[in-house]
Chain A
Amino acid sequence: MKRFRTVLATSAALALIATGAAACGNDSESGPVTLRYSWWGNADRADLMQQAIDLFEDRNPDITVTPSFQEYEAYWQKLTTETAGGNMPDVIQMDFSYLREYADRGVLYDLDDQTGDALVLDDLLAGFDGVGEVDDARYAVPIGGNTWSMFYNPALFTQADVPAPQVGWTWADYHAAMAAIKSTTGVYGGGNYTGVIYNLEAQLRQEGGALFTEDGQLGFDQERLARFWQQGQDLIAQDVVLPVETAVQIKPASLWVDDLAASDLGWDNFLVRYAGETDTEIRLGPLPSDDPERLGQYLKPAMLLSASARTEHPEAAAKLISFMINDPEVGRIFGGNRGLPATNAQREAAELDGPLADVAAYEETIADQLTQAPPAPPRGAGGVEAAFIRISEELHYGRISVQQAVDQFFTEAEDILQS
Chain B
Amino acid sequence: MPTNAVTATRTGPGFDERPVTPSRRRRPGDGLAGYLFLSPWIVGMLLLTIGPMAASLYLSFTDYNLFTTPEWIGIDNYRRLFDDSRWLRSVQVTGMYVLLAVPVKLAAALAVAMLLNSQRRGQGIYRAAFYGPSLIGASVSVAIVWKALFSDDAAVDRLLSMVGIRTGGWVGNPDFSLLMLVLLAAWQFGAPMVIFLAGLKQVPRELYEAAEVDGAGRWRRFWSVTVPMISPVIFFNLLLETINSFQIFTSAYVIGGRNGSPAGSTLFYTVYLYDRGFTDFRMGYASAMAWMLLLGVGLVTAMLFRTARGWVHYSGDNR
User: Quick one: CB contact mask for A399-419 with B, threshold 8 Å, 1 for yes?
Assistant: 100000000100110011001
In the bound assembly, the distance between CA atoms of A245 and B67 in angstroms comes to 39
B278 touching A77, Cβ below 8 Å: yes
Instruction: From the candidates B65, B172, B267, B281, name the one contacting A248 in the complex (CB within 8 A).
Output: B172
Instruction: From the candidates A248, A382, A412, name the one contacting B262 in the complex (CB within 8 A).
Output: A248
Flag whether A81 is at the interface (Cβ < 8 A).
yes
In the bound assembly, the distance between CA atoms of A412 and B282 in angstroms comes to 14
A245 touching B281, Cβ below 8 Å: no
Flag whether B260 is at the interface (Cβ < 8 A).
yes
Q: Kindly count the residue-residue contacts between A and B in the assembled complex, taking CB atoms under 8 Å apart.
A: 78
A419 touching B282, Cβ below 8 Å: yes
Within 8 A of A (CB), among B219-269: 258-264, 267
Within 8 A of A (CB), among B255-292: 258-264, 267, 275, 278-282
Which of A112-120, A362-370, A390-398 binds B?
A390-398
Instruction: From the candidates B152, B261, B279, name the one contacting A382 in the complex (CB within 8 A).
Output: B279
B111 to chain A, nearest CB (A): 31
B278 touching A390, Cβ below 8 Å: no
A125 to chain B, nearest CB (A): 30
In the bound assembly, the distance between CA atoms of A54 and B258 in angstroms comes to 37
A105 touching B85, Cβ below 8 Å: no
A249 touching B172, Cβ below 8 Å: yes
Flag whether A137 is at the interface (Cβ < 8 A).
no
> Please, which residues of chain B bring their CB within 8 A of the CB of A378?
none
Flag whether A42 is at the interface (Cβ < 8 A).
no
A246 to chain B, nearest CB (A): 6
A139 to chain B, nearest CB (A): 14
Flag whether B75 is at the interface (Cβ < 8 A).
no
With A246-B152, A394-B264 in contact, do A383 and B279 touch (Cβ < 8 Å)? yes
In the bound assembly, the distance between CA atoms of A132 and B258 in angstroms comes to 27
Flag whether A197 is at the interface (Cβ < 8 A).
no
Instruction: Output the residue of B67, B275, B278 with the most chain A CB within 10 A.
Output: B67
> Please, which residues of chain A bring their CB within 8 A of the CB of B282?
419
B86 touching A412, Cβ below 8 Å: yes
In the bound assembly, the distance between CA atoms of A107 and B65 in angstroms comes to 13
> Please, which residues of chain A bring their CB within 8 A of the CB of B168?
245
A81 touching B63, Cβ below 8 Å: no
A386 touching B263, Cβ below 8 Å: no
> Please, which residues of chain B bring their CB within 8 A of the CB of A393?
261-264
> Please, which residues of chain B bring their CB within 8 A of the CB of A408?
85
Number of A residues whose C-beta is below 8 Å from B? 35
> Please, which residues of chain B bring their CB within 8 A of the CB of A251?
261
Within 8 A of B (CB), among A311-339: none
With A245-B168, A249-B172 in contact, do A386 and B262 touch (Cβ < 8 Å)? no
In the bound assembly, the distance between CA atoms of A106 and B68 in angstroms comes to 9
> Please, which residues of chain B bring their CB within 8 A of the CB of A397?
174, 262-263
> Please, which residues of chain A bring their CB within 8 A of the CB of B261?
248, 251, 389-390, 393
Instruction: From the candidates A249, A379, A419, name the one contacting B171 in the complex (CB within 8 A).
Output: A249
A261 to chain B, nearest CB (A): 15
> Please, which residues of chain A bring their CB within 8 A of the CB of B68?
105
Flag whether A83 is at the interface (Cβ < 8 A).
yes
Flag whether A84 is at the interface (Cβ < 8 A).
yes
Flag whether A358 is at the interface (Cβ < 8 A).
no
> Please, which residues of chain B bring their CB within 8 A of the CB of A76?
278-279
Flag whether B173 is at the interface (Cβ < 8 A).
yes
Flag whether A173 is at the interface (Cβ < 8 A).
no
Closest chain B residue to A416, Cβ basis: B280
In the bound assembly, the distance between CA atoms of A80 and B171 in angstroms comes to 31
Q: What are 18 A-B pairs at a CB distance below 8 A?
A: A76-B278, A80-B66, A107-B67, A244-B262, A249-B152, A379-B281, A380-B280, A382-B280, A383-B279, A383-B280, A386-B259, A386-B279, A390-B259, A393-B262, A397-B262, A399-B263, A411-B85, A415-B84
7 smallest CB-CB distances across A and B, nearest first, come from A249-B172, A105-B67, A245-B172, A84-B66, A248-B172, A394-B263, A248-B262
**What 11 new A-B contacts, CB under 8 Å, besides A245-B262, A389-B261?**
A83-B67, A106-B67, A244-B262, A245-B173, A249-B169, A383-B280, A386-B275, A389-B259, A393-B261, A412-B85, A419-B282
